[in-house]
Structure 1
Amino acid sequence: MATFVFGYYAALIIASVILAYVDYKKWFLMVFSLLLVSFVAGIVGGAGALEVITIFVAVLATAAAVSYAFKFFLVLIAKPNLAKELKTAPLTAAFGMFVIFTYAVAGIFAPLIAPHGQAEVISGAFAPPDANMLLGADQLGRDIFSRIIYGARNTVGLALIATLGAFFLGALAGLLAAVKGGWFDQFMGRVADVIMSIPSLIFALLMLSILGTSTWVIVVVVAVIYSPRVFRLTRAVAGNIVVMDYIEAAKLRGEGDWYLIRREILPNSTAPLIAEFGLEFCFVFLLIAGLSFLGLGLQPPTADWGSMVRENATLISFGDITPLIPAAAIALLTVSVNFVVDWMLFRSSGLKEQ
């Protein structure tokens, strides 16, 4: 243990000196700050605290390396214009894209990746991990790892469909309200105000209690809840476009509303709408996971991350972190999507890095 502590501090000190000598200021600040934090943590927590910091830094460095490699891969396979944009993407955005890609692969190829079926009972209740079950078994003896893989298909897929529904309803209503104006614009605005005035979770619980918890009912209810947010943004963006001179010229040529929407407004409002889609997906995803945790989302035996947290919560009392794995999967996807959305918003804002 003494050798580990001595080597740990020696490595950080040597790295700090080298970085200071070659005048890499940003890296020097990072490494030397880590040295100071490690010094304080070592005094307070001993060698155990240094091991935790080492593991954290190793995970962070691995994530940065994978993100950089994935970014380089995307630059190589992308078209020239897209490749130029990807080169300027920060590592956080590259990490987000890598996580989204991983979730997509897990969801699409879940039957091939998962070693067991999502409802297949293969062991006793809460059996510990072994060679056959990487994460052990749940309360019914089903493989938790397989259910997490299938959860990427079920939970994320349901959230994606609901987000598409919310975006279709909200964007269509917002575009029509901006183009038509008048009483239609006022009417849609008041409908959006009424829906947004009701808390999302309470509205969802009420509707699902009345209409049932089938998959399509969940999709429709969640789409209706979040469509006013999309309506507000679309109406604001399109409202700034319809007053432009080229829109007036198109109207004088006799172009109809659908032509204006398809050929004039949508091409000039794509960037903020795409960014909004990412944000809406995060909100929808968290709401569906919350509904599943409360028992009103996807119903058993369908694997769902929210319900998996509830079903295995008993293990936390025994010091087992297994219930936190599906919760971590939810958090990781949410953070990753926000990383990508932040980058897209930065690009669409026209700001330049200093």
Structure 2
Amino acid sequence: MSVFVIGYYTILIAASCLAVYFERRRVFMLLFSLTLVSFVAGIIGGVGALRTITTLAAVLSLAAGVSYAFKEFLVQIARPGLARELRTAPLTAAFGMFVIFTYAIAGIFAPWIAPHGQAEVISTSFAPPDANMLLGADQLGRDIFSRIIYGARNTVGLALAATILAFVMGAFAGLLAAVKGGWFDQFMGRFADVIMSVPSLIFALLMLSIFGTNLFVIVVVVAVIYSPRVFRLTRAVAGNVVVMDYIEAAKLRGEGDWYLIRREILPNSTAPLVAEFGLEFCFVFLLIAGLSFLGLGIQPPTADWGSMVRENATLISFGDVTPLIPAAAIALLTVAVNFVVDWMLFRSSGLKG
């Protein structure tokens, strides 16, 4: 038995005993469960499996430490009211906010962070990583690392623009339908049902095949696809608010529809709508990445994570994981946004941990 294996189990068992001594039940259950899993994995996979578990545990510990530090940083710079809310945020939400912050910095400062241009050919096709290219070159000899950095600006920026447009269209229509009622409410509801009945990917492929694949068309088509979802939620939330007594009092005072929406209904519907914005962003982001993968999204030579997966898929046949990096960037942002949305939904539900 190697020194690594002895030290590995000694640290786990000692940490478990300390957790019991200090009455940290959750920590003990986590550590001792890890010990049992490691014991089984060590029997099946040997030392290699234990080294893999150690690496994963180190990565998770690093992520937890960074998340905690970032949360404390936000608490220190936030206003007192927001700081109190941030103190109650779980580490998963803090991790999500840190990832979103990192992606935002990469997108905003892409020309200064990326060592090369997104369309600049600097090497041969599929050149291996070196001191000049951190992740190697793609099928045309462009720096993959630089294109991933620019992809944070292009893919995320386009998804954010489409989400904002979808949210504005859907939320405004939902609020107006709740206030107007009658035939307008019925018409908007049936129109939303018709759009939602068509699969989003098929609808997007059809519209982009007809109108082209420039950025404006992509934003409008994606916004039309997802605005009915925002409409349904907004209509449901606003429908619960519009029957309140203070709304009736405002109507008796002679207030117009715009006043009711702006001053009465919208402030009382903000929490679920903000959470819905995060969810809609994930759906839009994944759809745009999928369209780019199919060749109908962001067009070359503009860097885009979806098209990068397609362009470098040949490398997977040779055991190179480089094409998985943009796919991992897509997955990481989606998970991070969902972590933040889950926390916001928990807060808006009124539950206390």
- Normalised to the residue count of structure 1, the TM-score between the two structures is 0.99
Q: Distance in 2 between matches of 1:237 and 1:159?
A: 25
Q: What pairs with 1:150-189 in structure 2 (closer than 5 Å)?
A: 150-189=150-189
1:91 matched residue in structure 2: 91
Task: State the SS of the aligned residue for 1:320.
Answer: coil
Query: Displacement, 1:181?
Result: 0.5
1:13 matched residue in structure 2: 13
> 1:195 is matched by which residue type in structure 2?
I
Q: Distance in 2 between matches of 1:197 and 1:275?
A: 24
Deviation per CA, 1:11-43, whole angstroms, max 9, x where unpaired? 111111111122211101111111110010000
Q: What pairs with 1:192-341 in structure 2 (closer than 5 Å)?
A: 192-341=192-341
> 1:62 is matched by which residue type in structure 2?
L
> 2:209 is matched by which residue type in structure 1?
S
Q: Distance in 1 between matches of 2:283 and 2:274?
A: 15
1:343 matched residue in structure 2: 343
Q: Distance in 1 between matches of 2:66 and 2:314?
A: 35
> 1:347 is matched by which residue type in structure 2?
R
Query: Displacement, 1:4?
Result: 1.0
- 1:26 matched to 2:26? The reply is yes
Q: Distance in 1 between matches of 2:16 and 2:173?
A: 57
1:72 matched residue in structure 2: 72
Deviation per CA, 1:265-306, whole angstroms, max 9, x where unpaired? 010000000000000000000000000000000000000000
- 1:124 matched to 2:124? The reply is yes
Query: Displacement, 1:340?
Result: 0.2
Query: Displacement, 1:58?
Result: 0.3
Overall identity of the aligned pairs, in %: 84
Query: Displacement, 1:87?
Result: 0.4
Q: Distance in 1 between matches of 2:158 and 2:132?
A: 29
> 1:259 is matched by which residue type in structure 2?
Y
Q: Distance in 1 between matches of 2:64 and 2:233?
A: 34
Query: Displacement, 1:5?
Result: 1.1
Query: Displacement, 1:154?
Result: 0.1
Detail structure 1 runs of 4+ shifted over 3 Å in the superposition: none
Q: Distance in 2 between matches of 1:272 and 1:15?
A: 41
Q: Which range is displaced more, 6-15 or 315-324?
A: 6-15
Q: Distance in 2 between matches of 1:212 and 1:296?
A: 8
> Any gaps of 5 or more consecutive residues in structure 2?
none
Query: Displacement, 1:258?
Result: 0.2
Query: Displacement, 1:3?
Result: 1.2
Q: Distance in 2 between matches of 1:197 and 1:351?
A: 34
- Normalised to the residue count of structure 2, the TM-score between the two structures is 0.99
Q: Distance in 2 between matches of 1:55 and 1:127?
A: 28
1:81 matched residue in structure 2: 81
2:140 matched residue in structure 1: 140
Q: Distance in 1 between matches of 2:22 and 2:189?
A: 59
Q: Distance in 2 between matches of 1:347 and 1:39?
A: 39
Q: Distance in 2 between matches of 1:174 and 1:13?
A: 57
Q: Distance in 2 between matches of 1:102 and 1:157?
A: 14
Q: Distance in 1 between matches of 2:251 and 2:315?
A: 65
> 2:155 is matched by which residue type in structure 1?
T
1:190 matched residue in structure 2: 190
Task: State the SS of the aligned residue for 2:329.
Answer: helix
Q: Distance in 2 between matches of 1:6 and 1:315?
A: 39
Q: Distance in 1 between matches of 2:264 and 2:300?
A: 47
Q: Distance in 2 between matches of 1:142 and 1:241?
A: 54
Query: Displacement, 1:9?
Result: 1.0
Task: State the SS of the aligned residue for 1:332.
Answer: helix
Q: Distance in 2 between matches of 1:251 and 1:170?
A: 24
> 1:333 is matched by which residue type in structure 2?
L
Q: Distance in 2 between matches of 1:36 and 1:113?
A: 44
Q: Distance in 2 between matches of 1:13 and 1:238?
A: 55
Deviation per CA, 1:30-66, whole angstroms, max 9, x where unpaired? 1111111001000000000001000000000000000
